[in-house]
Structure 1
Amino acid sequence: MRLLLRPEIARQMGIVLLKPGNDLMGVFAQGRVLVEEAPANMAHLPSGRIPDARQPLAEDHLLRPFFTDERVIRAAGGLAALEHWLLLRTDICQYPHASYHHHELVTMRHPPGALAVCWHCDNELRQQTTEQLAELARENVIAWVIDTVLASLGYNRERELSVAELCWWAVSAGIAGAITEEMAQRALRLPSEPEPTVYRESDIVPALPATSILENRLDGYSAEPDWQEQPLGQPLVDVAVEPEAPATFFARPKRIRWTNPAFIKWVKIQPCVCCGKPSDDPHHLIGWGQGGTATKAHDIFTLPLCRRHHDQLHHDRIKFEQEFGLQPVLIIQLLDRAFALGVLA
Structure 2
Amino acid sequence: MAKSKLTPVDGDKVRAAFQVRLARGQMTTEADTASDELQQPIATTEIRSRIDKSALTLPETKRQRDRQHLRFVASHPCLVCGREPCDPHHLRFAQPRGLGQKVSDEFTVPLCRAHHRELHRASKEVNWWTSLGIDPMVSAQSLWLLSHPRSLQTRSAEMTARKPIKFPRQCSARVAKPFFLALR
Interval containing the TM-score (normalised by the shorter chain): 0.3 to 0.5
- Which protein has greater RCO, CA pairs closer than 8 Å, 6+ apart? 2
Q: Give the structure with the higher percent helix.
A: 2
Give TM-score, length-normalised by structure 2.
0.44
